Amino acid sequence: MYRRALEQAFPDALPVDAYLGRVHSAVAPLGFTRDRTFAAVSICRDELTQGLVGAVGRRWDPPFSLGGLGALPSLGRTGWQAALSHVPDVDGRGHLLVFGMPHLGIDPDGVLGQSLRSFQHHPTPTCGAMTALLHGLRHGFPPVPEGLDDHEAERLRRLVDAQRDELPHDLVELTKLAVAAVDAEMWAELDALRASDEMDVAVFCGIQVHLPDLTDHIVGMTGAFQGADGVRRPLALPTD
């Protein structure tokens, strides 16, 4: 049932390794070889997302962590500067490869937006932050208790709001809006730091989908490259 749900909701989804193989085929001709590339990954902190970190590391070495709730980059200007300072430069211009992946689960019954986690009896929301955001958009947001803050959730809400004209119908639509927000925020930070003055940059964003059989899939949605001329160009993945 969950395989059927995946095919119906995301017919173009690929297993993680297959998706990264297509990314490799797209960026390798641009000089993104393993010894010249530094990878960074923006994903939710959920334990289910961590397989993507390992898959990226097997292909390009362990990546720098960028993300917070909803996969929105949450490291701030200082963290971005730290990431850029790690990019290889022994052969001149370095190469920065960035992934931004909000996530979504499918439970054994094929229900989108929740996962049956290890040693739990009932499915729970995946992504919890996106589920809470959708509920808040529909029913209002509760006040934050005094002495606490929820700055990542509030920032996620603002940036997702900027991508929509009307209330999203469901979690899938909201997650797609989050992908657009993550992609826009990535490039805003990279442009502000003038990253392409010193390195070639490629950014890929999409949805990481968790299945009960532990074979995560990726729904690729955006890809772009920016080189020394500072012009951002779409970067499509090969189809086979």
Tens digit of each residue's pLDDT (9 = 90 or more) over 38-95: 999 999 999 999 999 999 999 999 999 998 888 889 888 899 999 999 999 877 889 9
User: From the DSSP assignment, how many helices (H) and strands (E) are in the chain?
Assistant: 7, 10
For residues 31 and 95, the answer to whether their CB atoms sit within 8 Å is yes
pLDDT for residue 29:
95
pLDDT for residue 154:
84
pLDDT tens digits for range 121-153: 999 999 888 888 888 888 888 777 777 777 788
At 9, the pLDDT band (50, 70, 90 cuts) reads: very high
Q: What is each CA distance from 207 to 167, 176, 223, in whole angstroms?
A: 20, 7, 13
At 103, the pLDDT band (50, 70, 90 cuts) reads: very high
For residues 113 and 105, the answer to whether their CB atoms sit within 8 Å is yes
Query: Which distant-in-sequence residues (6+ apart) come within 8 Å of 66 by Cβ?
Result: 40, 41, 42, 73, 74, 75, 79, 80, 83, 98, 100
pLDDT for residue 25:
96
Q: What is the mean pLDDT of the chain?
A: 91
208 pLDDT exceeds 80? yes
Helix or strand or coil: residue 98? strand
Angle between helices 128-139 and 151-161 (to 10 degrees): 70
The pTM of the full predicted model, rounded to 2 decimals, is 0.93
According to DSSP, the residues that pair with 113 across neighbouring strands are none
Considering the domain 2-229 in this protein, what is its CATH number? Answer: 3.40.1050.10
Distance, CA of 160 to CA of 45 (rounded, Å): 18
